[in-house]
Structure 1
Amino acid sequence: MEKRLNRSDLMFSLAFLFLLIIAIGAFFYGVKVGTDRTEAKHASANAPEVSATAEPSAYQQQDLVSFYHTVFLSYREFQNDWFAAQNKWLSDPAADRSASMKELAKTAKRKYEAIKGVYVAPISPELKNAQTDYLKSLKLFEESFSALASTANESSAQSVLDKVSRNSFYKEGLNHSLNAQKEYYASMLKWAASVNMDVKGDYTSPEVLSIGKWSHLPLIVKIKVASDFMSEQAALTDYLPHDLAAKIDQFISSGQANKRKIKSFNAVAELLTSTEAVGSGYFNEVKTRFYEDEQLPQLPFFSPGK
């Protein structure tokens, strides 16, 4: 006759089964956790490294603005002093050109030191190149004025200016100055391409640009084309590429190009620059008339009253 299990034996058996189930469950759970951790570790090891901080973008508007205030304006102040000196020499025969040249050399050196201390991120190479060219220009102008100062009072003002324009240091400095300007405006085009997919950041001016094609270009591209043209002319001017671009648009819209049977941007630009028809600040005089909806970086020289 079978022996019946008493109550304590039954409870013990049930407890044993319960603990066995828990142990098996814990075992399989541990296996799953270990597998997941191993897979995660391998995935992490094979994943490409992600920088803790995002890489800064090139040609941001804040970079263009910073360059304007710390590099462009500093150089422009030296250039304006040079223009003022020329005007004084030509209007006042008694002007002390020797002392003026020595002061210009000192100014060039001061501006060189100021611009040299400005950090321009290499992620924007055109801006970096512009800074380098402005520095080279100032150094060469300093050497030119220093070398010519001692004889600056020995002849007429025009003779001195002619001598300056023939000086090898001056000519090389002039080329670097115009190339720096060209690089700065190229940077603005890069910025425009980053905010507007319809703008080509690598636009290259053709040898001859028809008026029809010029008229359909975005303003920022027109300004870049004007900058390229001015660089080729090898002449310092008080007006800037956007002033020239605006004057060309005004000339075309007035019907003058058609009346004179001029077919290309190049011919219009040569006519306007050779007749000194472009003035500093002209762009802002006609900005609301021609360019109300055009997108430009928010730089002071693109705004009236700046």
Structure 2
Amino acid sequence: MEKRLTATAMLFSIGFVFMLVCAVGAFFYGIQIGSEKTEAKYEKEELGAKNAAATVSPYQQQDLVSFYHTVFLPYREFQNEWFAAMNKLLQGKTNDATSMFKDLASLAEEKAKDASSVDMQRSPLLGQAQVSYIRSLKLFKDASTKAATSSKTLAINELKKNIEQEKNYLSASQFALSAQQAYYSAMLKWAATVDLDIPAEYKSPSLLQLTQWKDLTITIKNKLMADQLMTRKKLTSYYPQDLTSRVDEFIDSGQPAKMKVHTVSAVVDLLINTEAVRTGDFTESKLRFYQHELLPQLPFFTSDTN
């Protein structure tokens, strides 16, 4: 005869099943909660990493140094050869201008490729400067090619004037000055991350008084000299810091008071028009005026480099 479960056994069985269901449910619930907490933890860490990356300045010293060696230096190497060639024309010391400018065209093409070897776009101003230097070199290539052709029919003294009025040369110079301006603006942004008293941007008033100039830091002064050269469309063999040092020397000499000169622009005009600035002027004045000034560790600030 089939035995029936007693009420107690029935309740015990139901309770056991209920407890088993609850235990299984609690197990899976625990897994879900643990998974959600783990995901939340990793999302928080990932967000923190992204925020940390966002707060890192795109204008660190290593960025300025990398730009110097991979972009600026190739351009500078071409520029030195270009100015040497133009100086030969000025002095009438070249017997084969055609060959000289063909070599310059090849060199400009080579240096444009060198300047394109890295991507500086992480730092907006350095990316802008890179693009401008590359465009400048490509236009210098075109200017050199045209100069090689013109040299076959023009006298040396006429050739120099022709080159300096040619549109490719003018555009090449403009892009080079724009690149220089962006590079020195990037240096100012770097300085602002190191010294919070230095502004990341500085726009000169239309008439910057010499009394105001004297209170500015070297990175601001250099940026302003890059601006001054850009405004004058003056492509030079010397650096903005060379012009900065000559302005400071002129002020220190007491000449502004004697000549009744009160603005930075007036002093810059005087120095440029009298050809009073040379490459290396900054190096000679560094210990005298800028020994304790904040500057990035770039070769043209630390040695008498071309």
Query: Per the shorter chain, which TM-score range?
Result: 0.7 to 0.9
CA contact (8 A) 1:88 1:95 kept: no
Task: Give, in whole Å, the separation in 2 of the partners of 1:247 and 1:198.
Answer: 25
User: Equivalent residue for 1:268?
Assistant: 267
CA deviation string 1:140-182 (max 9, x = no partner)? 1111221231221433322111111111111111100100011
Q: CA RMSD in A?
A: 2.4
Partner of 1:101: 101
In the TM superposition, what are the counterparts of 1:59-78 in structure 2 within 5 Å?
Answer: 59-78=59-78
- How much has 1:258 moved relative to structure 2? 1.2
Paired residue for 1:50? 47
- Give the structure 1 partner of residue 254 of structure 2: 255
- The Cα shift of 1:252 comes to 0.2
Tell whether 2:273 aligns with 1:277.
no
Deviates more, 1:201-210 or 1:127-136: 201-210
Deviation at 1:52, TM superposition (A): 5.4
Q: Which residue of 1 aligns with 2:211?
A: 212
For the residues of structure 2 that align with 1:101 and 1:43, how far apart are their CA atoms? 64
Amino acid at match of 1:64: L
* 1:100-139 superposed matches below 5 A: 100-120=100-120, 122-139=121-138
The CA distance in 1 between the partners of 2:242 and 2:83, in whole Å, is: 18
Please name the residue that 2:166 is paired with: 167
Large movers: runs of 4+ above 6 Å? none
Unmatched 5+ residue regions in structure 2?
1-18
SS, match of residue 67 in structure 2: helix
Q: Deviations over 1:47-85 (max 9, x none)?
A: 584265752531110110111111111100100001111
Q: What TM-score, normalized by structure 2, do the two folds share?
A: 0.84
Distance apart, 1:46 and its partner CA: 8.0
Distance of 2:301 and 2:132 partners within structure 1: 23
Q: Scaled by the length of structure 1, what TM-score is found?
A: 0.84
CA contact (8 A) 2:71 2:115 kept: yes
Report whether the alignment pairs 1:84 with 2:84.
yes
Structure-2 separation of matches of 1:38 and 1:116: 47
Percent identical across equivalent pairs? 41
Give the number of equivalent residue pairs.
Answer: 277
SS at match of 1:238: coil
Output one character per residue of 1:265-288: Cα deviation in whole Å (capped at 9) or x when no partner. 010011001110011010010100
Q: Distance in 2 between matches of 1:95 and 1:192?
A: 48
